[in-house]
Amino acid sequence: MHGEPSISSWAVERFGDRAATVRRRLAASLLEAAGNAQDAQKWSRSDKRYAYGYTLMARRYEALVTGLRDEPGFQVVRPYRSPHYLVVLNGNLLLPFRYAEDETTPIGEARIGDGRISALVRELFARFGARTTFHQEELDLGVEEEPELGDVRPLITELPGDTRLIPVAYAANAQVSLLKLYWGEAELVDEMGRIHWTHCEQIPLAASSPWVPQALPAAEPGARFDQGAEPGLPLGARPAVERANGKIFPVNSESAPEVTQVAYADERP
């Protein structure tokens, strides 16, 4: 593609001669997911971000499945009790996650999630992440196995031992959509989701097909509320039969419905 940055030797090593295509499709898929989340937020007409957060959380996995399913070496795996499918491409397990809501947060400060990591994330990094060169003692993988860890392993252990985890980190928010996108290899540093990149490179977004969020219904361009035809107000006498039988045909009047305001606590998806 004209103007597209050259592909790195790392990407070629991981994805072969289709590395540029994979990179482009991955970016386009996450742009679409972010656009879907923006649409959901707009259509919700809410000042809370539940719609955006939940939609982006689900669509980032689904869009990768749809966008990469035609690539050679494509397969999916869904860990037990997980609602999401993870894409495996040429032995590379893609793990998308949002590391920031702005474009100023350094990628070196990326964390997976806002709290303690799940057993699934821990297992993925332990089995398929970069070999630990950071501070092994900071990542306590020798603790007693959590109950759900056994539920993670049946499908994960079916993957070949040489499968490599490829974290896909992106910055996005409901106002601007996808801001930055990175991929590479990393090791898990601690239980709070901090990672140490052993290789990291930015994925260009300009070369990918943009996703145009669907706008909310709007008035016709240039139309003003006082430019339309003034509606008529037809009045007519009630039929004689209704006037003569007032108990059967009472005169009704409309009243405005009662509106109850409900306040919700703010949240961060």
Q: pLDDT band at residue 149, thresholds of 50, 70 and 90?
A: low
Does 225 score more than 90 pLDDT?
no
Classify residue 266 by its DSSP letter: -
β-sheet bridge partners, residue 199 = 185
Report how far residue 228's alpha carbon sits from residue 225's, in angstroms, rounded to the nearest whole number. Answer: 7
Tokens of 186: 């990393």
Do residues 170 and 182 touch, judged by C-beta distance below 8 A?
A: yes
Report how far residue 212's alpha carbon sits from residue 210's, in angstroms, rounded to the nearest whole number. Answer: 6
Report how far residue 21's alpha carbon sits from residue 248's, in angstroms, rounded to the nearest whole number. Answer: 74
Does 208 score more than 90 pLDDT?
no
Do residues 211 and 74 touch, judged by C-beta distance below 8 A?
A: no
Domain boundaries, the chain: 9-202
Q: pLDDT band at residue 50, thresholds of 50, 70 and 90?
A: confident
Report how far residue 201's alpha carbon sits from residue 56's, in angstroms, rounded to the nearest whole number. Answer: 23
Q: How many CB atoms lie within 10 A of CB 79?
A: 21
Does 138 score more than 50 pLDDT?
no
Does 239 score more than 60 pLDDT?
no
Q: Stretch 188-214: mean pLDDT, rounded?
A: 80
Q: pLDDT band at residue 160, thresholds of 50, 70 and 90?
A: confident
Per the document, the length of the chain is 269
Average of per-residue pLDDT values in the chain: 76
The pLDDT value recorded for residue 161 is 83
For 19-46, the pLDDT digits (tens) are 999 999 999 999 999 999 988 888 888 8
Does 94 score more than 70 pLDDT?
yes
